[in-house]
Amino acid sequence: MNSPSLPRFEHEIGARLGRGDLAGAAAVTAECRRAWPADAAGWLFGSIVALLSGEKTTALELIEDRLTIDPGDIQCLIQKAECLFALGQRPQAMEAIAAATALASGVAPALDAIGEFLVHAGDHALALEIYDQVLALNPEDTSVLSKRAVIHRFLGNFDLAGADYDRLLTLAPHDAEALKGLAELRSQSSDRNSVAAMEAELAAAPTGSKDAATLHFGLAKSYEDMENHDASWRHLVAGNGLERTWLQYDPATDRAFIECIVHGFPDIETQAVDTTGERPIFILGLPRSGTTLVERIMSNHSSVHAAGELPALGEAISLIANRTESLSVRSWLELAAAIPKLDAAAIAREYLTLAAPRRGDKPRFIDKQPVNFLYCGLILRAFPNAVVLHVTRHPLAACYAIYKTRFGGTYPFAYDLNELAEFYIGYRRLMAHWHQVLPGRILDVAYEDVVTAQEATTRRLLDFSGLPFENACLDFHLNPASTATASSVQVRQPLYDSSLNQWRHSAQGLTPVRERLEQAGIPVD
């Protein structure tokens, strides 16, 4: 009996991946390798499926087996880099991607894939070089123009980012993301703005479309710059309303998760055993509360590397929970119940492995994942000498800053004012609990203090972190490192205080948030 054709195998693998059937997809890739051992497909797809399944070593072994047959397979070299990166072997991953790059010269699709890997790896400067090569081959590739504009923004090359968006709009005049990108790069004024273009595109966009949501957020930012606050708020409500319709989110689940964490950590041992000798710096709090600003200040210190918003802690928790036979973890709330029971030393080991590709080579590194506020108790069990910096902000300023940001689904509580208020209440409840059971272990630093008393607050941050003061920390806006957060434009500027009271222009719209916070006993004035 003849074996299925290679396209049949590829179709079946894709179908099973689409259904989330990783085990079934792995079985089909094994059949494909047996039937077509000389073709790359079974090995490449097998490695991809293994990596998606968390079987990182198996994924690497499969791709290395294929590369012994064809060492010049560019796709497989890129996949090897992905596997090595996932295993925390950054230098080896970069060697593999360099080998792929050398072979991909003049091959635009391969270079584009290499650029995607480099963005994932956080090497934005090298990604920029790759995208430059792609655009030299095909100057009218709008997809790569858009990617390069974003990279320029991350690197602080705002004029070049604007030039890419302008070029993109000559090729694709209706591109909503480019119009919004231009509005975010430049302060909009009455004599220099993209409002008319965005309003025209919004009128033509299909009702309820992604483009419509994008344009609403771009217009909200533009009208805010131009001090037309009523129009800005109207577009914020419309944009957030659209985003919310595409999300499956139950705020009660988040509140139940937080309550489960509170009850799971009624107290914490005063001094856990340090198994690593590491002193990572965790900067946490709500998104858009000033965490990126504090990270830039701290990482301009000669001893500190900014590793960015690492997913490592959440991933380590899930991995260790699922490896612990005595625990049953099938849902978000079951995970919350499991967290207090996890082996802190195992969490520390797994976290450091996952963080390794981005931790840099300086003595200290920063993890600026805002939602790590959920795990303060576990952090200080795993790393007794860790530094935890909690960035706070005026409640309504914080909620307004979140509401006017399009996160792309990252923070599902952000798009409805009532749900945002409920999440804020849960966050405040949990942080109050951490301070109660971990007295003196978490430093609260107010965004307002950073802005209005920069040097004093910087000294306080460094002192709490066990770092000597360096003047460079005051010049955070000169920090050359890339930043891939929503604050990528703002943190390239010297401190300014205009954002402190921006929320007041929308105070009436924020009334539901104010009322709910006051009901919960949270003062807002």
* pTM recorded for the entire structure: 0.88
Cβ contact 94:81 at 8 Å: yes
Sequence-separated (6 or more) residues with CB below 8 Å from residue 263: none
Cα–Cα distance for residue pair 166/183, rounded to 1 Å: 11
Mean pLDDT per 10-residue segment, the chain (525 residues): 79 91 93 92 94 93 95 96 92 96 95 96 94 96 95 90 95 95 90 93 94 97 95 97 94 95 85 88 96 94 95 93 82 91 94 92 96 96 96 97 89 96 97 96 96 94 98 82 56 62 93 97 91
Rg of the chain on CA atoms, in Å: 24
Q: What is the DSSP string of 134-156?
A: HHHH-TT-HHHHHHHHHHHHHHT
Tokens linked to 145: 């123009």
Phi, psi of 388 (to 5 degrees): -120, 115
| Token pair belonging to 149 | 């504009």
Contact 449, 286 (CB under 8 A): no
Q: So what's the pLDDT on residue 484? A: 58
Q: For each of the domains in the chain, give its residue range(s) and CATH number, in order of start.
A: 1-103 (1.25.40.10), 278-415+442-492 (3.40.50.300)
- The predicted pLDDT at position 325 comes to 75
Q: Which amino acid is at 478?
A: L
Instruction: Give Cβ neighbours of residue 519 (< 8 Å, ≥ 6 apart).
Output: none
Q: Which residues pair with 189 in a beta bridge?
A: 192
